[in-house]
C-alpha cells in the first residue's frame, strides 16, 4: 500500500468511520477496489499521478457504475494533506439520501 492508502485505511478499518464497514483490496472482478463499503455500494480509490487522464480508470469506473457501485477517487496528496477533509467527503457519500415527501396522488390516501 502507498503511504496515502495506509493513512486512509487506518481511519476506515474496524468500523472507525461512523460504524461503516470497509474492506481493503476488495475484489470486484475483473477489478480490485482499494477500499469498498459493500453495504453502501461505495468504492474509494486513492490514486497517484500515474492515474491522471487514465482511460483505463474511466472504463473501470464506467463498469463499476453500471453495476450499481458509486466510486470516489482521491489523489494521494489530498489524502496526505487533508485526511479529515477526505473522510468528510466519504461520510457525505455514505449519508442516506432523505426521501422526498409524497404528494397527493402518489399513493397517499387522505
pLDDT tens for the chain, residues 1 to 110 = 999 999 999 999 999 999 999 999 999 999 999 999 999 999 999 988 665 667 888 889 999 999 999 999 999 999 999 999 999 999 999 997 666 566 555 544 44
Q: Which helix (H) or strand (E) holds 93?
A: helix 83-94
Q: Are 60 and 28 in contact (CB under 8 A)?
A: no
What pLDDT was estimated at residue 110? Answer: 45
DSSP letters along 49-92, please?
A: GGGTT-HHHHHHHHHHHHTT-EEEEEEHHHHHH-HHHHHHHHHH
Q: Which helix (H) or strand (E) holds 6?
A: helix 3-12
The half-sphere exposure of 2 on its side-chain side, counting CA atoms within 13 A, is: 16
- Locate 92 and state its grid cell: 457525505
Domain 3-94 has CATH 3.10.450.50: no
What pLDDT was estimated at residue 52? Answer: 62
Amino acid at each position: 500500500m502507498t503511504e496515502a492508502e495506509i493513512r486512509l485505511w487506518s481511519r476506515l478499518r474496524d468500523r472507525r468511520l461512523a460504524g461503516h464497514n470497509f474492506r481493503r483490496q476488495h475484489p470486484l472482478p475483473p477489478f480490485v477496489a482499494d477500499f469498498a463499503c459493500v453495504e453502501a455500494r461505495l468504492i474509494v480509490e486513492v490514486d497517484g499521478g500515474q492515474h491522471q487522464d487514465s482511460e483505463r480508470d474511466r472504463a473501470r469506473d464506467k463498469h463499476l457504475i453500471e453495476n450499481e457501485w458509486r466510486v470516489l477517487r482521491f489523489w494521494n496528496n489530498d489524502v496526505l494533506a487533508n485526511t479529515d477533509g477526505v473522510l468528510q467527503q466519504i461520510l457525505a457519500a455514505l449519508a442516506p439520501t432523505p426521501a422526498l415527501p409524497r404528494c397527493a396522488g402518489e399513493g397517499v390516501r387522505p
